[in-house]
Amino acid sequence: MNPYLDIAPEVQRALSEGMPVVALESTIISHGMPYPKNVETALLVEQTIRENGAVPATIAVIGGRLKAGLSREEIEYLGKTGRGVAKASRRDLPALVARGADGATTVATTMIIAHMAGIRIFATGGIGGVHRGAETTMDISADLEELANTPVMVVCAGAKAILDLGLTLEYLETKGVPVIGYGTGELPAFYTRESGYSVDYRVDSPAELADVYRAQRALGYRGGMLVTNPIPAEYAMDKTVIDAAIEQALRESVEQGVKGKEVTPFLLARVVELTGGDSLESNIQLVLNNARLAAKTAAELAR
């Protein structure tokens, strides 16, 4: 057991008894939504996982401790503190731990801590990837490297639509990360169900997802697996509307000199404003949809 890791009693009991567990990130709480919507959504996602037969383990760094499973009070703290909590990727963990500081975990760090705890499946909204203009900025999310190196299944609604989706898929292919479409042969684009890019394989049931993951582990692969689950059709946004909002947000981020780890939160928040809040509701619904699929798949893995 890692000396810096704290596993919540409910999560530890589930893991010890071979029950299904699903990891959840905490950046969506501190950086992804305004308070109190962020806390309401985090608790609703946990409830959704329980309703679908698994135990939720929201992950964060609090007081320098790596937490696999948060209390309601800890979730409330992250939600109220918001961007006052550091956005923690792989490079940030040593300093946060050494300083006894707080951190909201990205996809990359959630995978790291989930793997330490023995959790095999993680549900999120969308992964990071290759940013538009990366050929000059070299802005590529650490999420992709983590997928190449950490054996956790990540269930998402595709890469965030603010990214270069084609280059993100190329990067994942180079790293040998299987990209699987749930009920689709096309990469979902977060707010919309289609992107124009094909995924590696299509599966149509949680049992099939569990089988593919078991085979990957039995083959001794080092990395993880990306499952892309389209947003429910009734909550999908009009592609023309969302593309226009993203383009405007991108222009404004350049004009305002937004860089590094602040780019994604800025763009997502600005898209919410430009769409009159519609993108926030879509974001919530796609996260819930991913939580349901992850819980059902975790239950299949535990059989």
Reported residue count of the chain is: 303
Tell me which residue of 143, 155, 208, 146 sits closest to 179, measured CA to CA: 155
Tokens for 35?
A: 């308070």
Cα(173)–Cα(263) distance, rounded to whole angstroms?
25
Taking only Cα atoms into account, the Rg of the chain, rounded to an integer number of angstroms, comes to 18
CB 25 within 8 A of CB 110: yes
Q: What tokens were used for 139? A: 């802005």
Which residues are tagged catalytic?
Answer: 25, 160
In whole angstroms, what is the distance from residue 208 CA to residue 113 CA?
26
CA distance 166 to 170: 6
Closest to 135 (Cα-Cα) out of 171, 111, 108: 171
| 202 class by beta-carbon count within 10 Å (0-12 exposed, 13-18 middle, 19+ buried) | middle
Can you tell me whether residue 8 is helix, strand or coil? coil
CB 110 within 8 A of CB 129: no
